[in-house]
Structure 1
Amino acid sequence: MSPHTGSLHHPDGETRWIGDERWATLARPTTATLLAGHNHLLVVAAHPDDECLGAGAFIADAACLGVDVSILVLTDGEASHPRSPTVAPARMASMRSAEADCAAAVLAPSARIVHAGLADGDLPSRHAEAVAAIQDLIRPGTLVIAPWTADGHPDHDAAGRAATQAVASTPRSHDGPVGLAHYLVWLWHWGQPDDLPWAESVVVDATLDGLSKSERALAEHRTQRLPLSPAVGDESLLTADVLAPFRRGFTTLVLGGQEPIRWSDEEQDQGSGLQQVGQTFDEMFADGDDPWSSESWYERRKRALTLAALRSERYDRVLDVGCSTGALTTALADRADTVVAVDASSRALAVARRSGAQSVSWVHGVAPEVLGDVEGPFDLVVLSEVGYFLRPFDLWLTLAAVLRRLAPGGELLLVHWRHPTKHIPSDGPTVHGQIRAVCERWSTSSHAEPDLLVDGYSVTR
């Protein structure tokens, strides 16, 4: 990234984005669906690192599907530290070009990477050269992804316009379609929700492997992630605030200039997928009423740590999302006037109701949709061992629903197993990182140990 003007730090950060209810209206194609009919992904970046920030996990997941990947970097990003007293622009260009090569090797080991060598900060006046560089890499079956034409950085906007013209001027072929989609980098910092073209946008969930590769690829951009030196002008550019939008776990793409996409039944009707989630958890009770071993030392100690992390002795209304058989819910009920406990498994709730807790309302449904039937406000919401069962975009929508239902100053508590997971969408560190990227300003506590992560937030408005 090459910030030429202004500041990247919007005072409202991610909270202005997650609060917009239009997210729930977006189509959710899989990576495979979006690439249907395409055997080649051409990634256009204005600067080294734009490809990681805008679509890193999507690129990695596309490569894992066997799609050929080409990455065209239009400039070498030599203007990224204009006041640096230690690194001259020519050396910066060399360093960033090498970083882009290393990052590409992480995202897509077989990728072809091309450096156009155009001047950083001058892409608007090099339109014809950018168009030609893109056209040289387009072939039948190519999906081009490039920065959005209104991303807010002159070079990004110019790269998006060049890609648009290159695709529009490519003759149609019976050998395969040529499509176009735009990713976003700076808009998340400059813009407001009304600036996003919602009607043309889709979200694509990343796999856990794709997220891991994206994070490792971004780490290769050391000139942006780390200070060049302690001197003024050599500061790190990709700070935690700047990286927050790229920790969501999904890619937002603005579609344009491609063949109509046929969404799968699952993508058209999320309800059928939600029913499957409930059935999956119900099946875990085939061998007994306690598949989670709720009286094991780990579970008992986890509940004790969870209760100890709460900041208040007593609560009015508590929401327990993913309550399972209600072991934690019952303990929360001892410290609350009312508890609403939600779970996807009807079998789990049947067991939970046997506790006889009079102050608990048990609600069957899957987050985030079920939260539409749960009225706030709550002064405590607990998400314990549930976040990694949600796809990244579902976690985003769940967090949005939770934040809308928290009373001012209300607490949000996250508790998750820390070890690697299998056959589920996410893991504990990823979930906690995704939520911290939104809620960092409200952090009140953080506890980490080999088995467990516990994070607390006091959400002010």
Structure 2
Amino acid sequence: MTGAPAFRHTDTGTSESTWLGDPRWALAPVLDVPALAARHDELLVLAAHPDDEALGVGGLVALADRAGMPVSVVVATDGEGSHPDASAWGPDRLGGVRRLEAAAAVSALSPRAGLTHLGLPDGSLAVRRGALREAVQRVVRPGSLVVAPWSGDRHPDHDTLGAVAAEVAAERGATLLQYPIWLWHWGLPDDLPWERACVVELDRDAVDRKAAALREYPSQSSPLGPAEGDRPVLPPEVLRRAARPLELLVADGGAQPASRTSAGGAEAFDAMYEAGDDPWGFHGSFFERRKRDLTAGVLLRERYDHALEIGCATGVLTRRLAERADRVTATDVSVRALDLARVDAPEHVSWVLGRVPEVLPDDPGPQDRVDLAVLSEVGYFLRPTELLETLRRVRDALAPDGEVLLVHWRHGTQDVPLDGPLVHDVAAAALDDLPHRLHLEDDDVLVDLWGGPAGSVAEREGRA
């Protein structure tokens, strides 16, 4: 990068828990990508530099490609100015490499996509605004869905391209969406115009395509050499933000096709019990018994005041938690599951019917405080925005030194929004203000624990 942005990419930047813990994610409309594909002739992605397209909207490009939508990517500069103080690489070499990287990255997102390089000077789009405007005018058509950098991103090239795209889209009668990149680094949630925000939710395939595209930019994510000026422009903090299973865009005011339905209703889960009372195979399974033993075995306290279990099903794990807690609240979306769970259940368990996040209090009171929250085999049934809101409400209800435990199937999933590894990645980002106390994985199961009292169990008993 060149110019004088009001931030440095070497700064740590705003934490993911600050961003992902904002309640306004749950209020933003979720774009219906197949409906967008039916409405528009093409997805036209404008990028100021090679890698902007992958960082900002790589998931959208992947989903549009899967929906059969023609994709064109136009990159304004070759990004030759990203390392002005590099010890070994000059601008010519760097620009040539980044062109090759862009071709590989765009192909990873959408093998059929077209890629055009304008070759304007990196860091000088404001000076070359006239040439940039002429080039954008040549590619924008009335039926285009134009996706460009956000004009408030505080990078001079991003801001200029975003403003030009807005002007040309308005002239052509095209639809415009803008994507932030560096806002996530320098900004805070109140810096984002949430009233115009919309969200693209990514599935495993889109997340994987986006990650593959970003791996095609080693010139930006790996050192070019040993000197200070060779350091990566995309440090781990920036790449972590790009790994979210959702992307946010700022709309130009036109209504976009949106979907806010949940990933699955209670009817589907109730129907699973029509063939028997144990559709998940909890009973008689060593795998399930071992998983419950692992869940109970990693907890950091012997006793809890109030434990919350989300997605309790028939209450098999709930009974184990009830042995360790004075009070347990167990939620599930299925009426039939809770009917079975209540049979001969401990009296200090409260069974609550409802789907998360709505079943959890948005403004928890003292009676809602929990010192243990357990999400076992439930996260991948939620859409990304639902998972974020669930984690936010859990975090808000957590008592000081409270624990959040996630346990999920590690293998692939079908016909659900997410998979176990992705759920745990989201939780790691959303809960990064809590100490990460334990990570356990084997061929089948992922276990992660955040929060809890200070010190180890042995230290608290005076053994260490």
TM-score, normalisation: structure 2: 0.91
Amino acid across the alignment from 1:361: S
The counterpart of 2:375, out of the listed 376, 383, 393, is 383
Aligned to 1:210: 206
Matched, 1:14 2:13: no
Whether contact under 8 Å (1:414, 1:455) holds in the other structure is yes
Match of 1:235 in 2: 231
1:282 to 251, 263, 270: 270
Using the TM superposition, give the Cα deviation of residue 367 of structure 1 relative to its aligned residue in structure 2, in angstroms: 1.0
The CA deviation at 1:67 is 0.7
**What is the Cα deviation at residue 355 of structure 1?**
4.1
Change (3 A) 1:2 1:385: farther
- CA distance in 2 between partners of 1:155 and 1:11 (Å): 20
Residues 320 and 3 from structure 1, CA distance in 2 versus in 1: closer, same or farther, beyond 3 angstroms? farther
The equivalent residue for 1:175 is none
1:432 aligns with 2:424: yes
User: What's the secondary structure of 1:152's corresponding residue?
Assistant: coil
Aligned length: 446
Query: 1:372 & 1:81 partners in 2: Cα distance?
Result: 48
Match of 2:107 among 105, 113, 121: 105
For the residue of structure 1 that corresponds to 2:228, the secondary structure is: coil
2:316 pairs with 1:327: yes
- CA deviation after TM superposition for structure 1 residue 159, in Å: 1.2
| 1:306 maps onto 2:295 in alignment | yes
Report matched runs for 1:291-440 at 5 Å. 291-295=279-283, 296-372=285-361, 375=365, 376-440=368-432
Deviation for aligned residue 1:140 = 3.4
Higher alpha-carbon deviation: 180-189 or 243-252: 243-252
- Secondary structure of 1:123's aligned partner: coil
- Provide the C-alpha distance between the structure 1 equivalents of 2:220 and 2:438, rounded to a whole number of angstroms: 29
2:188 equivalent to 1:192: yes
Distance 1:444 1:230, change over 3 A: farther
User: Contact 1:2/1:77 (CA < 8 Å) preserved in 2?
Assistant: no
- State the distance in 2 between where 1:160 and 1:459 align: 45
In structure 2, how many angstroms separate the alpha carbons of the residues matched to 1:113 and 1:131? 18
In the alignment, the residues of structure 2 paired with residue 346 and residue 2 of structure 1 have an alpha-carbon distance, to the nearest angstrom, of 59
When structure 1 is superposed on structure 2, of 22-31 and 309-318 the one drifting more is 22-31
Q: In the alignment, which residue of structure 2 is the partner of 1:456?
A: 449
Whether 2:29 is the aligned partner of 1:27: answer yes
Q: 2:123 aligns with which of 121, 124, 131?
A: 121
Matched, 1:443 2:436: yes
Contact map agreement 1:3 1:80 (CA 8 A) in 2:
no
Q: Is this contact kept in 1: 2:196–2:250, CA < 8 A?
A: yes
- Say if 1:100 and 1:390 are closer, same or farther in 2 by CA, change over 3 A: same
TM score, norm. by length of structure 1:
0.92
d(CA) in 1 for partners of 2:452, 2:150: 33
Report whether the alignment pairs 1:162 with 2:158: no
Q: What is the percentage of aligned positions where both structures have the same residue?
A: 45
C-alpha distance in structure 2 between counterparts of 1:19 and 1:111, whole Å? 35
Q: Per-residue CA shift, 1:12-54, capped at 9, x if unaligned? A: 5022223322223222232123444202000011111111111
Specify every segment of 5 or more residues in structure 2 that has no aligned partner in the other structure, as ranges: 454-464
The question of whether the paired residues in 2 share the 8 Å contact of 1:30 and 1:205 is answered with no
Q: 2:246 aligns with which of 230, 246, 250?
A: 250
Give ranges in structure 1 of 5+ residues lacking alignment. 173-177
Contact 2:32 2:257 in 1 (8 A): no
**CA-CA distance at 1:445 after TM superposition:** 1.2
Q: Cα offset for 1:439?
A: 2.7
- In the TM superposition, residue 11 of structure 1 has moved relative to its aligned partner by 5.7
The one-character-per-residue Cα deviations of 1:431-455 (angstroms, maximum 9, x if unpaired) are 1112212334521111111111111
Rounded to whole Å, the distance in 2 between the matches of 1:416 and 1:318 is 18
Q: CA contact under 8 A between 1:124 and 1:155: conserved in structure 2?
A: yes
8 Å Cα contact 2:17-2:432 kept in structure 1: no
**Secondary structure of 1:162's match?**
helix
Distance of 1:325 and 1:3 partners within structure 2:
60
SS where residue 363 of structure 1 aligns?
A: strand
CA contact (8 A) 2:154 2:183 kept: yes
Amino acid at match of 1:298: F
User: Are the structure 2 counterparts of residues 452 and 262 from structure 1 closer, same or farther at C-alpha, using a change threshold of 3 Å?
Assistant: closer
Distance 1:64 1:382, change over 3 A: same
Cα distance in structure 2, aligned partners of 1:156 and 1:89:
20
